[in-house]
Amino acid sequence: MTNKVYQNDLPDGLDLGPMVAIDCETMGLHPHRDRLCLVQLSNGNGHAHLVQIARGQTEAPNLCKLLEDSDVLKLFHYGRFDIAAMLNTFGAVTAPVYCTKIASRLIRTYTDRHGLAKLLQELLSVDISKQQQSSDWGAAKLTKAQIDYAASDVLYLHRLRDALNVMLEREDRMEMAQACFDFLPMRAKLDLAGWP
């Protein structure tokens, strides 16, 4: 597993294929107050690409091209937050998207635990540590523990989607899930515009 760290944007010419897992780290949970610090991406091959975003930065052309590419499906866990964070920072509307948290809520109705760590443990027998979740993501130099943690949030989303889709198909809830995914970019816009 190699995790690459870049400054400000993805490098030119990096092709991550038709399905890309994305996660964001921010200074906190209020998009208008707490800036975007890091965007993590993976194409599901076990490697992660981490882009550090500078304070005051409003452009990332290569990243935004990917976010807005209608031929690339973007996978998130709780995409509502990440889509809003990147829309607020760059003005880019991420689409099309898939959210493993929404899929989980629609199919794992036997539990109220829909966190990523719980899902990975139950469906993939993968244990990830959430220890670095609350740390200073605005630091100029991230620690090895932060980088590993940030990567772990995107490395397994492709496999997780596969597992959740098997369940959604089995219980005939795929159409419902797809309608929710299609609405998600607008849901994020509404959050930013004052309709929580």
Interacting span for Mn ion (CB under 5 A) from 13-21, 104-112, 150-158, 175-183 = 150-158
Distances, alpha carbon 43 to alpha carbons 29, 81, 106, in Å: 26, 20, 25
Distances, alpha carbon 111 to alpha carbons 104, 114, 115, 162, in Å: 9, 8, 11, 20
Query: Does position 82 bind Mn ion by CB under 5 A?
Result: no
Instruction: Please say which residue, 39 or 168, places its beta carbon nearer to Mn ion.
Output: 39
Query: Does position 9 bind Mn ion by CB under 5 A?
Result: no
Instruction: Please say which residue, 7 or 129, places its beta carbon nearer to Mn ion.
Output: 129
Query: Does position 153 bind Mn ion by CB under 5 A?
Result: yes
Instruction: Please say which residue, 22 or 168, places its beta carbon nearer to Mn ion.
Output: 22
Residues 19-78 within binding reach of Mn ion (CB under 5 A): 23
Residues 108-137 within binding reach of Mn ion (CB under 5 A): none
Residues that contact Mn ion, how many (by CB under 5 A): 2
Interacting span for Mn ion (CB under 5 A) from 53-61, 93-101, 145-153, 175-183 = 145-153
Instruction: Please say which residue, 84 or 168, places its beta carbon nearer to Mn ion.
Output: 84
Partner residues linked to 48 by β-bridges: 3
Least CB distance from residue 53 to Mn ion, whole Å? Answer: 14
Least CB distance from residue 25 to Mn ion, whole Å? Answer: 5
Least CB distance from residue 36 to Mn ion, whole Å? Answer: 12
Report the residue number whose CB is nearest to Mn ion.
153
Least CB distance from residue 174 to Mn ion, whole Å? Answer: 26
Q: What SS3 string covers the chain?
A: CCEEEEECCCCCCCCCCCEEEEEEEECCCCCCCCCEEEEEEECCCCCEEEEECCCCCCCCHHHHHHHHCCCCEEEECCHHHHHHHHHHHHCCCCCCEEEHHHHHHHHCCCCCCCCHHHHHHHHHCCCCCCCCCCCCCCCCCCCHHHHHHHHHHHHCHHHHHHHHHHHHHHCCCHHHHHHHHHHHHHHHHHHHHCCC
Residue ranges binding Mn ion (CB under 5 A): 23, 153
